[in-house]
């Protein structure tokens, strides 16, 4: 777990440049993918379209490690991505595969099946999916996170990701292809536990150009989510009380 300074607050301070209330938070779409998988480029193209379409969806591409032994190593693969997919398989009662899309931590579909992905997003948008509002901002070399009081409990996760990369694949199933990839997760850390009480915390800016905060229940359900471009955003220091 990354070090984070946590303060329980009776009143939340409006410090963030990015925020998500309980009624408006984005649906989180997690794509488990690999540059070594020939079925993955269409799913990654879909994730890129979702990323460009607006604020209702937070798409994140988790590059897994288990394809790396097949003649091409994905430079963005993370052991944490593989571990996260395995945890979803245990919760959802399925197996791991690529491209797999997990929607709001509660349902999975084939990540290249656009009709199924969009249908799952639509179901998540119309359900009672969040009781936790978030504010996220940057202050120097730290991110500042405010979490509203709400129902439920879970883990606060910090995700660092890059908005876009283009990679020329030299070997493996995608040999000779140039793949455009969006919202590539570069780091994933647990920063605190959430018990329903309002809190404010600071944590170092993660690896990756942008950052997102997720609040996730033990059963995988996403309780809250928001994102911030960490390279271009700032937060004024809090005034002394």
**Among candidates 78, 83, 88, 2, which has minimal Cα distance to 34?**
78
Domain that holds residue 187: 5-228
In the structure encoding, which two tokens stand for residue 136, read together? Answer: 């996220």
Whether 233 maps to a domain, the answer reads: no
Q: Please state, in angstroms and rounded to a whole number, the distance separating the CA atoms of residues 51 and 57.
A: 7
Whether 241 maps to a domain, the answer reads: no
**Among candidates 53, 51, 14, 16, which has minimal Cα distance to 30?**
51
**Among candidates 90, 84, 41, which has minimal Cα distance to 62?**
84
Q: Please state, in angstroms and rounded to a whole number, the distance separating the CA atoms of residues 146 and 235.
A: 13
Whether 16 maps to a domain, the answer reads: yes
- What is the total residue count of the chain? 241
**Among candidates 15, 111, 58, 63, which has minimal Cα distance to 224?**
58
Sequence-ordered strand ranges (E) for the chain:
5-8, 18-20, 27-33, 57-63, 100-103, 107-110, 134-139, 142-147, 154-168, 178-194, 199-204, 210-216, 222-228
Whether 198 maps to a domain, the answer reads: yes
Whether 238 maps to a domain, the answer reads: no
Tell me the CA end-to-end span of the chain in Å, nearest whole number. Answer: 29
Q: How many domains does the chain have?
A: 1
- The owner of tokens 């084939």 is 110
Q: Give the CATH number for residue 32.
A: 3.40.30.10
Whether 66 maps to a domain, the answer reads: yes
Q: What percent of the chain has pLDDT over 90?
A: 74
Which pLDDT does position 131 carry in this prediction?
A: 66
Q: Please state, in angstroms and rounded to a whole number, the distance separating the CA atoms of residues 200 and 20.
A: 15
Whether 236 maps to a domain, the answer reads: no
| 125: CB partners within 8 A, 6+ apart | 27, 56
**What are the distances in angstroms from CA 241 to CA 146, 208, 238?**
17, 33, 9
**Among candidates 91, 94, 88, 74, which has minimal Cα distance to 33?**
74
Three-state secondary-structure class, residue 88 = helix
Q: pLDDT (tens digit, 0 to 9) for every residue of the chain, 241 residues total?
A: 444 544 433 323 233 345 554 447 899 999 999 999 999 999 999 999 999 997 689 999 999 999 999 889 999 999 999 999 999 999 999 899 999 999 999 999 999 999 999 999 999 987 645 568 899 999 999 999 999 998 889 999 999 999 999 999 999 999 999 999 999 999 999 999 999 999 999 999 999 999 999 999 999 999 999 998 644 333 333 333 2
**What are the distances in angstroms from CA 190 to CA 1, 2, 143, 151, 177?**
5, 6, 14, 20, 35
Residue 224 has what DSSP assignment? E
Whether 240 maps to a domain, the answer reads: no
Of all residues in the chain, what percent are helix, strand and coil, respectively (each to 5)? 15, 40, 45
Which pLDDT does position 126 carry in this prediction?
A: 78
């Amino acid at each position: 777990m990354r070090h984070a300074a946590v303060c329980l607050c009776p009143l939340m301070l409006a410090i963030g440049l990015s925020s998500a209330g309980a009624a408006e938070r984005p649906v989180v779409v997690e794509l488990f993918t690999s540059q070594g998988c020939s079925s993955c480029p269409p799913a990654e193209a879909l994730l890129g379209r979702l990323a460009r379409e607006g604020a209702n969806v937070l798409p994140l591409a988790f590059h897994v490690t288990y394809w790396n032994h097949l003649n091409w190593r994905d430079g963005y693969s993370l052991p944490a991505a593989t571990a996260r997919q395995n945890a979803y398989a245990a919760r959802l009662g399925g197996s791991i595969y690529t491209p797999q899309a997990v929607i709001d931590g509660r349902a999975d579909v084939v990540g290249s099946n656009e009709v199924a992905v969009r249908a799952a997003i639509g179901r998540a948008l119309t359900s009672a999916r969040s009781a936790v509002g978030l504010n996220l901002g940057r202050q120097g070399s730290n991110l500042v996170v405010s979490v509203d009081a709400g129902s439920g409990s879970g883990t606060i996760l910090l995700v660092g990701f890059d908005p876009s990369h283009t990679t020329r694949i030299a070997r493996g199933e995608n040999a000779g292809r140039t793949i455009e990839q969006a919202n590539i997760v570069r780091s994933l850390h647990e920063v605190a536990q959430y018990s329903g009480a309002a809190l404010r915390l600071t944590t170092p800016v993660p690896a990756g150009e942008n950052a997102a905060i997720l609040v996730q229940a033990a059963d995988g359900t996403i309780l809250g989510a928001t994102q911030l471009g960490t390279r271009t955003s700032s937060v004024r220091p809090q005034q002394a009380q």
